[in-house]
Structure 1
Amino acid sequence: MSLTRIHNMSISLDGFATGEPQSADAPFGHAGERLHEWMFATRFWGAGGTEGVDDAFAARHNIGCGAEIMGANKFGPPGWQDDSDWKGWWGPNPPFHTPTFVLTHHPRPPIEMAGGTTFHFLQASPAEALATAAEAAGGLDVRIGGGATVVRDFVAAGLVDHMHLVQVPIVLGRGVRVWDGLEALEDSYDIEAVSSPSGVTHLTFTRRVGDGA
């Protein structure tokens, strides 16, 4: 049975997964790259990176996933829907290598990229998007790629089986938070915290049997 998973989503101590304002020059707003420096230092990110706890968690990102769902703000900066040439932040060969479904109020024809990534643009509820992505995944798992609003919506809908968040020791104060509206999340998930020498804490949430939507 395929699972719905979230991996490597970094959040600040106060729960923000991105700062503000987002722009083409600042994809994560005033947070800059501070939320993801732990990952940039790993072998998963690039040759010569470190091994250890951070790398082990980061490397789980791609294993067994056959499709991804992401929000409009992960795909591009505000206004990308009006730019017919915009194909995402990642260049001609995006790192997904699977069908990738972008949730947007402005659907457009699919964009086929190098390396096996095809972007599909959907206006759909979380449950509808997941059903479409699961079919495309061909029995493999579906990854919810973010941003924070999409993660929050899928968790609130009871659709996420496994979630890996990385708490980074910074305070952003503003941006988009993951936790809003997710009171008592611990009632439905087994939660494990693993501290890393880099200073981040890896939080894993695994849905308890019988707590599916």
Structure 2
Amino acid sequence: MSALRVNNLAISLDGFATGDGQSLEAPFGHAGERLHEWYVSTRFFHAQDGLPGGTLGVDNAFAEQHEQGFGAEIMGAGKFGPPNWQDDPDWKGWWGPNPPFHTPVFVVTHRPRPSIEMDGGTTYHFVDAAPSEVLEQARQAADGADVRLGGGPTVVREFLTAGLVDYMHVAQVPILLGRGVRLWDGLESLEDAFDIEVVSSPSGVTHLTFVAKPR
């Protein structure tokens, strides 16, 4: 069976994966891009944008895993758009006509709408269902490949609570946000369900990997 994986989910030292005040102009609220500076500095990210250079080492090795072996993605409503994007029938996500996913994408929302086919192989499907049902749809669409759980923190937390995540990589960035949406709330004793490894990077980022124990 294909795995459900989380890759490159960045959080602050106090556990926030996005800041307060998300809007069209500020997708990550008051956090800005501070959670992702390590990622956009990597050789992998530069290559995606056709740019030279970029850092190598630990950060780049984790960044590269973002594209490896996925056949579908699941994301929450907060990743797809700013608050109340459901009120705009023309909203098609932050990423323009050719989004970077190139797979079926299942957007979890309480206000579903018809699917949207984009350039480059991305099709957005809008679903209002329990995590296990969404995962089953995504696995069928992935056709044997893994499914990426793309965030944000609320939907990742829901799938963790349901015991559905097989692998998770969290990049802990050395900043304090103080407010926003936290990843860890309500996940007491999560360590009992996963084998956890920690790798430090010269950038100051701490990479935590969670591999699910046999269920």
TM-score by length of 1: 0.97
| Cα distance, 1:92 vs structure 2 | 1.0
**Which residue of the partner structure matches residue 171 of structure 2?**
166
Q: How many residues align?
A: 210
**Once the two structures are superposed, what CA deviation does each residue of 1:174-201 show, in whole Å capped at 9, x if it has no partner?**
1000001111111110000100011101
Give the partner amino acid of 1:153. Answer: E
**Which residue of the partner structure matches residue 102 of structure 1?**
107
**Once the two structures are superposed, what CA deviation does each residue of 1:79-130 show, in whole Å capped at 9, x if it has no partner?**
1101111110011111111000000111111111111100000011101100
- Asked if residue 149 in structure 1 is aligned to residue 154 in structure 2, the reply is yes
DSSP-derived class of the 2:44 partner: coil
Task: Map 1:48-197 onto structure 2 (within 5 A).
Answer: 48-197=53-202
| Cα distance, 1:73 vs structure 2 | 0.5
| Cα distance, 1:52 vs structure 2 | 1.1
Q: Structure 2: how far apart are the matches of 1:109 and 1:49?
A: 39
Give the gaps of 5 or more residues in structure 2: none
RMSD: 0.7
Identity of aligned residues (%): 70
**Which residue of the partner structure matches residue 41 of structure 1?**
41
**Once the two structures are superposed, what CA deviation does each residue of 1:147-178 show, in whole Å capped at 9, x if it has no partner?**
00000000010000000000000011110000
TM-score by length of 2: 0.96
- Asked if residue 26 in structure 1 is aligned to residue 26 in structure 2, the reply is yes
DSSP-derived class of the 1:54 partner: helix
